[in-house]
Structure 1
Amino acid sequence: MAVIFLAFDVFFAIFCVVLACLIGIALCCCLPCIIAILYAVAGQV
């Protein structure tokens, strides 16, 4: 039982790290696009 719980805990920790990395990559990729869109919208006003 303890081994299963430990394995689940390790899996959850790895999952959280991977998720954080994916969110970081997504922000780095999307941020320039968002800024460009905001700049374009602000330029039209």
Structure 2
Amino acid sequence: MKFSCKTTTPFYIISFKKEKQKIKFFLKFDQTMKLQTWKKTEN
């Protein structure tokens, strides 16, 4: 599954409104994706 920052940002905000536990997962997931993107950019 591919996600960009533009799609994940509103996605986990919507999840936050529905389920507070989901925001924690998507925030961690988004941070991980950003780290992976940063590593790929550095390499």
Q: Mark yes or no: TM-score above 0.5.
A: yes
- The runs of at least 4 aligned residues of structure 1 exceeding 3 Å deviation read none
- CA deviation map 1:1-35 (0-9, x unaligned): 1110110000000000000000000xxxxxxxxxx
User: Sequence identity, in percent?
Assistant: 8
1:19 aligned to 2:37?
Answer: yes
Give unmatched runs, 5+ long, in structure 1: 26-45
- Alignment TM-score, normalising by the size of structure 1: 0.53
Q: Which amino acid aligns with 2:35?
A: V
Give unmatched runs, 5+ long, in structure 2: 1-18
Structure having the higher Rg: 1
**Structure with a larger share of its residues in helix:** 1
Count of matched residue pairs: 25
Larger RCO: 1 or 2 (CA < 8 Å, sep 6+): 2
